[in-house]
Amino acid sequence: MCFTSQFWDLTVTGLAIGAVYALIALGYTLVYGVLQLINFAHSEVFMLGAFGSVFALRPLVGDVRPSGATSVVLVVVGLLVGGAVGGLAAFVLERTAYRPLRRRNAPKLAYLISAIGASLFMVNIAGKEFGRLSVNMPTVFTDGTVFSVFGADVKTKQLVLAGAAVVLLVLLDRLVNGTRLGQGIRAVAQDAETASLMGVDINRVITQTFVIGGVLGGAAGFLYGSAFDVQNTMGFIPGVKAFTAAVLGGIGNVRGAVLGGVLLGLVENYGVACADSAYRDVIAFSILVLVLLVRPSGILGERLGRSA
């Protein structure tokens, strides 16, 4: 096969970027679970989280190149700030672009238009305030080979991306499956009307779900920005790929989003080994079309109950 000689290198890189896709995809799948709507402004929540990390880390890092324990602290700060900015952006988005429509029992199309409008607003306000040129995330760790797996070098950057993403994914899984808040989210996703009759505050659960998705998206913005450039339009391509991952795994299914993100990262990498790297995005979008044609519910997808 065309990628045989690079198989393990491609696998390591694919797992790292796939974990980031999974983090972003969870924002889509959580909101879809409770509202059965796609939050198309989630990619801009991801972008704002990246910018928040940039501005928080610049004065902390300065002109030095951190290492050791300092790098760990800075990575944690980047994740916390990115997550906080993403969560705040998602909270404002829910209150301004979604809740007024729910109160008026607006048609589904109105939510779509509102989300697209909010997305365009955030892209352009970020471009106006932060500039439209790419900026670099401050270097918070020294990249280099840490160890090898079957001859493939595993670098610090890949470990940070995958390791931080895995920790956040595990925490979310415990939150959804082992806490009262998680019970509320799952109840609303299964049947919002019945959950309301059982005393669940639907509006509060929806807001909390948006914030959780925003925190994950903002943290993913920091991780993505540490590997690539940060720009006001940076959310579009990763956002669509994360949506593809959510659909691939089963939209509305948390573990499906994780599976879809990892699979997409791997397939992308394997695909560019057999074709020009310019086809990376084409491969991802082709997967989206294929999944929608062959199995619209995704790998782990299931029929959802009544939406909120």
pLDDT at 302 over 70: no
CB atoms within 10 A of CB 103: 9
Between 211 and 227, the more confident residue is: 211
**Token duo for residue 198:** 């059982």
- For residue 143, CA distances in Å to 29, 140, 159 come to 32, 9, 10
CA 78 to chain centre: 15
CA distances from 80 to 43, 110, 168, 222 (A): 18, 33, 11, 9
Question: pLDDT tens, 63-74?
Answer: 777 778 888 999
pLDDT at 304 over 80: no
Q: How far apart are CA 105 and CA 171, in angstroms?
A: 34
pLDDT digits (tens, 9 = 90+) for 244-285: 899 888 888 888 889 999 999 988 888 877 766 777 778 878
pLDDT band at 92 (very low <50, low <70, confident <90, very high): very high
Q: Phi/psi at 153 (nearest 5 deg)?
A: -75, 130
pLDDT reported for residue 273: 74
- Give the distance from CA 61 to its chain's centroid: 25
Q: What is the pLDDT of residue 292?
A: 80
CA distances (Å), origin 147, targets 3, 115, 144, 180: 22, 44, 9, 41
Beta bridge partners of 229: none
Q: 2 pLDDT exceeds 80?
A: no
The strand ranges marked E within the chain are 145-149, 152-155
Q: Pull the structure tokens for residue 215.
A: 């925190």
d(CA 17, CA 10): 11
pLDDT in tens, 30-68: 888 888 888 889 999 999 999 999 999 999 887 777 778
Task: Report yes or no: 16 and 265 within 8 Å, Cβ to Cβ.
Answer: yes
What pLDDT score was predicted for residue 1?
55
pLDDT score at 84: 96
Instruction: List, in order, residues 6 or more apart from 10 with CB less than 8 Å away.
Output: 3, 266, 269, 270, 273
Q: Determine what percent of the chain is predicted with pLDDT higher than 70.
A: 95
Report the alpha-carbon distance of residue 121 to residue 123 in Å, rounded: 6
Among 5-19, 21-35, 247-261, 289-303, the range scoring the smallest mean pLDDT is 289-303
pLDDT, residue 177, reads 85
CB burial class (10 A; 0-12, 13-18, 19+) of residue 180?
A: exposed
Banded pLDDT at 242 (limits 50, 70, 90): very high
pLDDT at 178: 84
Q: What is the pLDDT of residue 124?
A: 94
Crossing angle of helices 156-178 and 254-274, in 10° steps, is 160
CA 94 to chain centre: 17
Helices vs strands, H then E, count in the chain = 12, 2
Burial letters for 67-96: b for 16+ Cβ neighbours within 10 Å, e otherwise? eeeebeebbebbbbbbbbbbbbbbbebbee
What's the confidence (pLDDT) of residue 144?
80
pLDDT digits (tens, 9 = 90+) for 214-231: 999 999 999 999 888 899
Q: 108-138 burial, b for 16+ CB within 10 Å, e for fewer?
A: eeebeebbeebbeebbeebeeebeeeebebb
What is the average pLDDT value for the chain, to the nearest integer? 87
Q: Report the alpha-carbon distance of residue 206 to residue 93 in Å, rounded.
A: 12
Quick one: pLDDT band at residue 126, thresholds 50, 70, 90? very high
Residue 3's pLDDT is: 60
pLDDT tens digit sequence for 157-205: 888 888 998 899 889 888 888 888 888 888 888 877 888 888 888 888 9
